[in-house]
Amino acid sequence: MNYENLAICFFLCLFTNYFNAPGLAQKVYQWRGNNRDGIYNENKLMKTWPENGPSLLWSYEEIGSGFAAPVITADKVLINGESNNADSTSYLFAFDLKGKLLWKAPNGKEYYGKGFSANYPGSRSTPTVAGDLVYTTSGKGRLACYGLATGKEKWAVDMVADLGGYENEFSYSESPLIDGDNLFCMPGGVIKNVAALDRFSGKTIWTSAALGDTTAFCSPIMITLPSRKVFVTISRHNIFGLDAKSGELLWLQKVENFKYEGEHCTTPIFADGFLYYLVEDENGNGAVKLEIAPDGKNIKEVWRNRNATNAMGGYVKLGNHLFTTTKKKKLICIDTNTGSIADSLSGNKGGLIYADNRFYCYNETGNMKLFKFENNKLAEVSKFKIDKGTKEHFSHPVIGNGTLYVRHGNALMAYDIKEK
């Protein structure tokens, strides 16, 4: 080999090692899209559907009980499920984009509940993928890391036994948050309320007592400011922010008149210096807009709309509007400058996402609906009925690679929504 070829080989090796090195930014596939905001950066999607809906590409009806949404990478579909029998084992399933099961990996016991909560058994958390690793949490709080290619377990931490967490009435629903080399989670204990872990080893970097409040079902976000990063989540009684480097509590706001079940499932959205959150409470918070100081140390309330309540359907911010479905079964559009409701459509309550100038709502009645927003007016465009699966229609829909994915209990379905 001559010196020129040797130099080329050297630089190729250096290039490969550089971009595969830990600590460098890698694409993260996660709950509700790239930014956890319900917006999927897809294009050339159908603007209307046939009467019977888009074509069903494939379905798989053996993922067991649960409400966990899938996560879609460039070549895989990953979803939490369970064994669907008496041993109630939690499983992480991996499929290729044609629906072929590639592997499934056990993750301890899955949540089955007691009393009233036993009516809602099964998986809750959406997996998070970073590089060649996938992270997931069982309903019982076992947080594990697997090799994306093989499903081989790399490490696991029990948020109750190892981190002193507290399992609420409906157990853990949080989807793991990855930022750089760190994984963030909320065990919900009095002393170790929030934790940052090394995502490659599972070792604890820091724990924070935060407010010592128990968990709700919120999946957190990371806010990047000029001087610091701020971890934000909603617990049973509070929304709060921690310094992501140290776990120091920076600010909090009480969630008023919380429901007994602690159903704060929606993930906050940060945009243009403002934080938006919605909860479902009895005459409580509703929709709230907070201004965060440039240094991240304090907040100021801008407005709240107590009539805009949302338990678990998520919401989307586009321009000067916030879109969500409500407890009163309405799809509403909120003016983010004033907090007032600009438009609404009745008969809608469920998981809401957005892609290519259309809103997708998986209604709790089992209807999958398509909406448009033009000239400041909402309009229903198309709908079809989800006819596979079991129990409640609570899972959030997901879009990836021109395909719409819907989970209904034990069934995962993939629909072709690409323009024809």
Strands (E), 203-246: 204-208, 221-224, 229-234, 238-243
What 8-state DSSP symbol labels residue 37? S
Using the 8-state DSSP alphabet, how is residue 346 labeled?
A: E
In this prediction, residue 246 carries a pLDDT of 98
> What CATH number was assigned to the domain covering residues 26-416?
2.130.10.10
Say whether pTM exceeds 0.75.
Answer: yes
Give, as one character, the DSSP assignment of residue 372: E
- Alpha-carbon dihedral sign for residues 336, 339, 344, 349: positive
Kind plus residue range of the DSSP H or E element containing 388: none
CA 149 from chain centre, in angstroms, equals: 22
Name the DSSP letter for residue 220: P
Please say whether the beta carbons of 134 and 78 come within 8 A.
yes
Sequential pLDDT tens for the chain (420 residues): 454 554 444 444 444 443 444 445 579 999 999 999 999 999 999 999 999 999 999 999 999 999 999 999 999 999 999 987 667 899 999 999 999 999 999 999 998 888 888 888 889 999 999 999 999 999 999 999 999 999 999 999 999 999 999 988 888 999 999 999 999 999 999 999 999 999 999 999 999 999 999 998 899 999 999 999 999 999 989 999 999 999 999 999 998 766 655 568 889 999 999 999 998 766 667 899 999 999 999 999 999 998 888 878 899 999 999 999 988 899 999 999 999 999 999 999 999 999 999 999 999 999 999 999 999 999 999 999 999 999 999 999 999 999 999 999 999 999 999 998
Token reading at 289: 């807009």
Q: What is the end-to-end Cα distance of the chain in Å, rounded?
A: 52
DSSP state of 9: H
Q: For residue 278, what are its two tokens?
A: 């919605």
Complete DSSP assignment for 256-312? TT--TT----PPPEEETTEEEEE---SSS--EEEEEEPTTSS-EEEEEEETT---SS
User: Could you tell me which residues come within 8 angstroms of residue 15 by beta carbon, excluding any fewer than 6 positions away?
Assistant: none
- pLDDT attached to residue 255: 87
